[in-house]
Structure 1
Amino acid sequence: MDITSEVVSVLDEVLSLNGRARTFSLDTPLLGALPELDSMAVVALITNLEERFGFCVDDDEMDGSVFASLASLVDFVTRKMGG
């Protein structure tokens, strides 16, 4: 499984980006740069990532740095999966 493409797929789906997420590079900023990524979307995104990848996220693991860029989000998912 390619974690980056799966994360991009979840982003695109949850934020209703209609394919825009596929144009993102790893250094694409997310939080603060995407108007679609508000606090409610963050919750939906975490829930979808948990379901897609089969891990659980504790509240104390979440801060803005996880959503700073596509790379930071992919790194977070990779760590949660034991990579």
Structure 2
Amino acid sequence: MNREFKRLELDAEQEHLKEADKRRAHELEMKRLELSADGAKELGSSAEAAARAPKLLPLHENSHKMDAYLERFERFAMSNNWQEAVWAT
């Protein structure tokens, strides 16, 4: 009888630990989802701003003159507050 009681206690404790593990896994998953949703909001707002920003047309060697293109690029970079040190990249 005592042995049966010990086995039942161990089974109950094991079940309790499984439930605690499930709760922790659920909490972790909820936190991951929350963080990914926050990241998506941040990316979405910056992506929207980038989509609304004016675009610089690419250089077409046949139809554009290099001097005119560089002048347009400089105006574009200045209007977007780019640091001159990163213009080359």
Per the normalisation by structure 2, the TM-score is 0.20
- Considering fraction of residues, name the structure with more helix: 2
Q: Which has the larger radius of gyration?
A: 2
Greater relative contact order: 1 or 2 (C-alpha under 8 angstroms, separation 6 or more)? 1
Per the normalisation by structure 1, the TM-score is 0.22
